[in-house]
Homo-oligomer: A and B are copies of this chain.
Amino acid sequence: MHKKNYHHGDLKPALIQAGLDILEEEGLEGLSMRAIAARVGVSHTAPKNHFDGLHGLLSAIAAEGFRRHAAEMQKDVEDAPPGRERLDAACVGYIKFAREHGAMFRLMFSPRFNKKAEEEELATAAASSYGVLRGIAEGLNWQRPGPELSPELEAMRTELMLWVFVHGYASLVNEGQMPADPDGKPLFDVLELMPQFDYGN
């Protein structure tokens, strides 16, 4: 397909894939331009032709992480019957990703991407992941005392509530603070911990 000499031909995606592999095998500390390039078998200055320095490469890797995060959650959601089970599926999917791809999860939510507005691809990918939660939250009615809010604010509040909850659980698991699956299943079922949502169907 490609001559194996000199020009790689598909270096950009190959570098991102190498980054994913290193995250799985060596963790976040192993991610350097030199290590990534070496894994592809290319000079460590080659990535400069495709990415804006190490930061740009990390940003692209994180974006791919968000896309996979979204895709895995989305698949779990669609495999579940509508209603409460879809809520659970989304939560479990979010948390499962954080446990199984710990280093990637940490990269994705690393404060090094603070000015995310300037990194369009990353922002888009992150939004797609949040969008899955948003889709789930749409079907929820969260009953609570207190003043009435506009439908928009009400929806935003429900999304954020869901995100806070699921991200908290995922973070604690990821940080080794929460024993997850000590003997194959969570200490407490996510379902049990979930606050009282009113869900359709």
Contacts and interface: CB of A to CB of B under 8 A. Distances in A.
Interface stretch (A36-44, A47-55, A171-179): A171-179
B195 A114 contact: no
A111 B116 contact: no
Interface in A143-167: 144-146, 157, 160-161, 163-167
Given A111-B102, A111-B175, A165 B167 contact: no
A193 interface: yes
Interface range on chain A (Cβ under 8 Å from partner): 20 to 34
Given A160-B193, A164-B193, A195-B196, A175 B144 contact: no
A34 to B, nearest CB: 19
Q: Is the interface of A mostly helix, strand, loop or mixed?
A: helix
Number of copies: 2
A165 to B, nearest CB: 6
A171 B160 contact: no
A116 B176 contact: yes
A67 interface: no
Interface of A: 102, 106, 109-111, 113-114, 116, 144-146, 157, 160-161, 163-169, 171-172, 174-178, 187-188, 192-193, 195-196
19 contacts: A106-B111, A111-B174, A113-B176, A114-B176, A157-B188, A157-B192, A160-B178, A160-B187, A160-B188, A160-B193, A161-B193, A161-B195, A164-B165, A164-B168, A164-B172, A164-B193, A167-B172, A168-B171, A171-B171
Given A164-B172, A165-B168, 18 more contacts: A106-B111, A109-B175, A111-B174, A111-B175, A111-B176, A113-B176, A144-B192, A145-B196, A146-B192, A157-B193, A160-B178, A160-B193, A163-B172, A164-B169, A165-B165, A167-B168, A167-B172, A168-B171
Across the A-B interface, the 5 shortest Cβ-Cβ residue pairs: A168-B168, A195-B195, A164-B168, A114-B176, A109-B175
